[in-house]
Amino acid sequence: MYLSRLPLTTLKETPADAETVSHRLMLRAGLIRRLASGLYNWMPLGMRVLHKVQTIVREEMDRAGALELVMPSVQPAELWRESGRWEDYGPELLRMKDRHERDFCLGPTHEEVITDIARHELMSHRQLPVNYYQVQTKFRDEIRPRFGVMRAREFIMKDAYSFHLDEQSLLEGYELMRDAYRRVFDRLGLEYRIVQADSGAIGGSRSEEFLVLAATGEDAIAWCDADGFAANVEVVSIAASGNAAPDPSHERELVATPGVGTIAELARFLGTGADRCLKTLLVKGNETPAVALLLRGDHELNAIKAQNLHGVAAPLTMLRGAEVEAATGCEPGFLGPVELPVPMHVDHAAAELSDFVCGANRPDYHYTGVNWERDVDLPGVADLRTAVAGDPSPLGGGPLSVARGIEVGHIFQLGTKYSDAMDATVLDADGNKRSMHMGCYGIGVTRVVAAAIEQNHDEHGIIWPAAIAPFQVIVVPINPDRSEVVRETMAELHDRLSEAGLEVLVDDRAQRPGFKFADADLIGIPHRIVIAERGLKAGQVEYKGRSESDVTLVPVESIVDFLRSRA
RNA sequence: CGGGGCAUGGCGCAGUCUGGUAGCGCAUCUGCUUUGGGAGCAGAGGGUCGGCGGUUCGAAUCCGUCUGCCCCGACCA
C-alpha cells in the first residue's frame, strides 16, 4: 500500500487529555479517534492491528475446538430477569426500551444469551462438551472511562462459553482454554502472568486472570517465586502472624487533636507512625445500619474480603459523613472502637497492636496508649486488608512481590449458576435431567492493543510486536520526486515485497526525509527500508529494525530474502 | 455519585480578572526555494468564542441556567 493513498494524520503535539502512553500514542499515530467519553473510532491503521489480534485469537480458539458464532448485542430483559442479574448488575448495565416499551439491555457479557442457546440446542450428554465463542462488541457503562481504549465503555471482546456434563469435564475444558490463552498471548508477543482472581459479577468458583505486566496497569498482582504463588492482590488471603499483641506499657490518655481527621495528619501530629494508629471505617450493614471495620493505619481495606463478613452488606458501601454521625454521634475522623455502639470486625494486624492510637468518638479528640481487652473488648478478628509487598505468601514460600498489570484475559469455572437459574439441562446416559456445567473465557481484544503499546514503545513511538504490526515493512524513498531511479526502485520494491507476501507500506508522500522517519517510528512498523540515490549507486538499500540503532546495507536484489531472515 | 477543572478555526493554546472590530503555534491550500531525523519565505482559506436566557450603547469577557468533556476520589474514620 502507498501511504499517499492512506489519509494518515499523525499528531506532532500530544493530545491534552491523554494520560497514559498507549492512549497518547494511539491518538498521535492515528489508530483511534474519540467519538465521546469511552467511545472510540478505530481508524484504518488501528483496524489492521485489531484484525491481527482477532485472527490470532480465532486461530487458537478454533485449534482448541471452539465453535464461532455471533450473538446480538441488544438483549431482552427477560433473560436477565431469569438469571437474576437484571436486578443484580447495577448501573453498568445500559438498559433501554423498544417502541413497544419492552425492556432491553446492551450486552456487557453474554452468559444469559448463550445459556438460552444451549438449553434449546443441547439435549443430550452425547453432544457435550461444547465450546461456543464470538468476537463481538460489548457495552459497559463504566463510572469513569479512562486511558483511551483501556477502559472504554464500548469495546471488543472475545467471549467463549463451554458446556459440560459434569465437573470433571468442565475442568478439562478449562485447562484446554487455559492452554489456548497461553498460546494466544505467547503469539502476541506479550509479557504476561496468570494469576488467581476474584470472579466478581460473573460468578462461579475458580477463576484466573491473564495480566500483561505494565506500570500503568489498573490491577496489582502478588507472587512468590519460591512457591509459585500468583494472584491478584485483591484475593490474596493474609494469615495471622501468630504474634500476640505485646503487653500494655502505657496508660490510655485522651488527647486533643483539633482538626486532625486523617491518619496521615494524626501520625504527624503525634509524632508516631501510621502503623501505630488504628483506623475505623464505617460501612453499611445488612442487619444494622452500620458496621465498623478496624485496620492498622497504614493498611488498606480489601472490599472483597470485607463484603464477605457477617453483617456487612454486599456490595461494600462506605457510609457518608451524615450517616456516620447518625450511627455513632461523632463525625468521621475521630472514630475509634472504645464504646463504639456498632458491631465491629478487626483485622489480624490491627488486633496485634498494643498502646495504639485511635479516635475517641468525640470531635477533635483521640486516645493514645489504647490496648485490647484492657480498654476495649477485642472484636471478631478477620482478614480485612489488601496484601502488600513483603506480606507472606499463602503457600508459605516467603515474602510476596507485587507488580502492576493490565487484565487482558479472564477464565472462569461457572459451574451450574446459570444453567440452574435458566434450566439448561441435558439427559445423561441414565436418562436423568442434569444441569450443564459451564465455563466462560474472555479476552479484551481492544485492550490487548493498548496493553501491547504500554509494553512496547520508546520516546519516538510504538514498537509493534511483529505479530500485530499493521504493516511489517515500511519503505521510505528519499526525495523520490527528484530521482527517477529512486522512484523506480520504490515501485519495484512495493511489488516484489507484496508478491513475497509481506505487508508493505511505501511512504511516497512528498515530504522531507526527517518527516517520514518520524512518522515511521511513531506508527511503529518493525522493519524499515530506505531507498536513496547514493546507496543505489552501489545497488544497495538501507535496512533498520524499529528497535535497532544501526543501519544495514542490503543489495536490492536480495532484499526479500533478507527480510524473511529477519521476520 | 461526590470534589476540582475545562469548553475560543481540524489539533494545542492565549485573550476573560479590568466589556470596545478574535489572536498565536501546529495542521490545511497555492507559489517559490529547500531536501538523510517533524524545512524556509510569501500568500490564502477556515471561528454565530459549547447552547439558551439576562445585564449593557456594546459581551469570548459580567450574571443565570443547561449541556458536553477531562482529572481526582471507596483509604476517610
> Residue A391 class from Cβ within 10 Å (0-12 exposed, 13-18 middle, 19+ buried)?
buried
Q: Which residue has the cell 490470532?
A: A56
**Distance between the alpha carbon (CA) of A13 and the C1' atom of B18, Å:** 33
Contact partners, residue A48, CB within 8 Å, separation at least 6: A470, A471
Q: How many residues in total does chain A contain?
A: 567
Please count the helices (runs of H) and the strands (runs of E) in chain A: 16, 30
Measure the CA–CA gap between A115 and A418, rounded to whole angstroms: 7
Tell me which residues from 456 to 495 on chain A have a beta carbon below 7 angstroms from nucleic acid strand B: 460, 478-479, 481-482
Which of the nucleotides lies closest to A277 (Cα–C1')? B77
Domains observed in chain A: 12-191+410-453 (3.30.930.10), 253-382 (3.90.960.10), 471-566 (3.40.50.800)
Which of the nucleotides lies closest to A292 (Cα–C1')? B77
Which of the nucleotides lies closest to A521 (Cα–C1')? B37
**Distance between the alpha carbon (CA) of A27 and the C1' atom of B49, Å:** 26
CA A416 to chain centre: 26
Q: What is the pLDDT of residues A214-258, one digit of tens each?
A: 888 888 899 999 998 999 988 888 888 778 889 999 999 999 888
Q: Which residue, among A201, A107, A123, A119, has the nearest Cα to A157 in the 3D structure?
A: A107
Contact partners, residue A93, CB within 8 Å, separation at least 6: A80, A85, A86, A105, A106, A108, A140, A141
**Distance between the alpha carbon (CA) of A136 and the C1' atom of B74, Å:** 32
Whether omega before A72 lies within 30 degrees of 0, making that bond cis, reads no
Tell me which residues from 118 to 147 on chain A have a beta carbon below 7 angstroms from nucleic acid strand B: 143-147
Q: Across all residues in chain A, what is the average pLDDT?
A: 91
Q: What is the pLDDT of residues A399-425, one digit of tens each?
A: 999 999 999 999 999 999 999 999 999
* pLDDT band, very low/low/confident/very high, at A54 (cuts 50, 70, 90): very high
Q: What's the pLDDT at A204?
A: 65
**Distance between the alpha carbon (CA) of A143 and the C1' atom of B1, Å:** 9
Query: Given the DSSP bridges, would you call strands A437-444 and A552-555 parallel, antiparallel or unpaired?
Result: unpaired
Nucleotides of B under 7 A from a protein CB: 1, 11-13, 25-27, 34-39, 68-77
Q: What is the pLDDT of residues A148-174, one digit of tens each?
A: 999 999 999 999 999 999 999 999 999
Whether omega before A129 lies within 30 degrees of 0, making that bond cis, reads yes
Tell me which residues from 299 to 338 on chain A have a beta carbon below 7 angstroms from nucleic acid strand B: 299-303, 315-321, 324, 332-336
Q: Which residue has the cell 490518655?
A: A253
Q: Is the pLDDT of residue A200 over 70?
A: no
The pairs formed by A202-206 with CB atoms below 8 angstroms and a separation of 24 or more are A202/A109, A202/A111, A202/A412, A202/A414, A202/A440, A203/A412, A203/A414, A203/A417, A203/A418, A204/A412, A204/A413, A204/A414, A204/A415, A204/A417, A204/A438, A204/A440, A205/A413, A205/A414, A205/A415, A206/A174, A206/A412, A206/A413
Kindly write down the DSSP assignment for every residue of A467-525, as one continuous string: GG-S-SEEEEESSGGG-HHHHHHHHHHHHHHHHTT--EEE--SS--HHHHHHHHHHHT-
Q: What is the pLDDT of residues A455-481, one digit of tens each?
A: 999 999 999 999 999 999 999 999 998
Which of the nucleotides lies closest to A300 (Cα–C1')? B75
Which of the nucleotides lies closest to A148 (Cα–C1')? B70
Q: Is the pLDDT of residue A201 over 70?
A: no
**Distance between the alpha carbon (CA) of A515 and the C1' atom of B33, Å:** 18
Q: What's the pLDDT at A316?
A: 81
The strand pairing partners of A2, in sequence order, are A506
* pLDDT band, very low/low/confident/very high, at A202 (cuts 50, 70, 90): low
- The Cα-based distances of A164 to A93, A132, A172, A418 in angstroms read 28, 12, 10, 13
**Distance between the alpha carbon (CA) of A314 and the C1' atom of B36, Å:** 64
- CA geometry: angle A357, A361, A362, nearest 5 deg: 105
Kindly write down the DSSP assignment for every residue of A247-265, as one continuous string: PP-S--EEEE-TT--SHHH
User: Would you say A27 and A148 are in contact if contact means Cβ atoms under 8 Å apart?
Assistant: yes
**Distance between the alpha carbon (CA) of A321 and the C1' atom of B2, Å:** 12
Could you tell me the sign of the dihedral formed by the alpha carbons of A389, A393, A399, A404, in that order? Answer: negative
Measure the CA–CA gap between A349 and A386, rounded to whole angstroms: 12
Q: What is the pLDDT of residues A499-528, one digit of tens each?
A: 999 999 999 999 999 999 999 999 999 999
Q: Is the pLDDT of residue A113 over 70?
A: yes
Q: Determine if strand B comes within 7 Å of the CB of A399.
A: no
Q: Which residue has the cell 499517499?
A: A4
Measure the CA–CA gap between A451 and A453, rounded to whole angstroms: 5
> What ipTM is given for this predicted complex?
0.89
Helix (H, G, I), strand (E, B) or coil at A229: strand
Q: Which residue has the cell 487533636?
A: A257
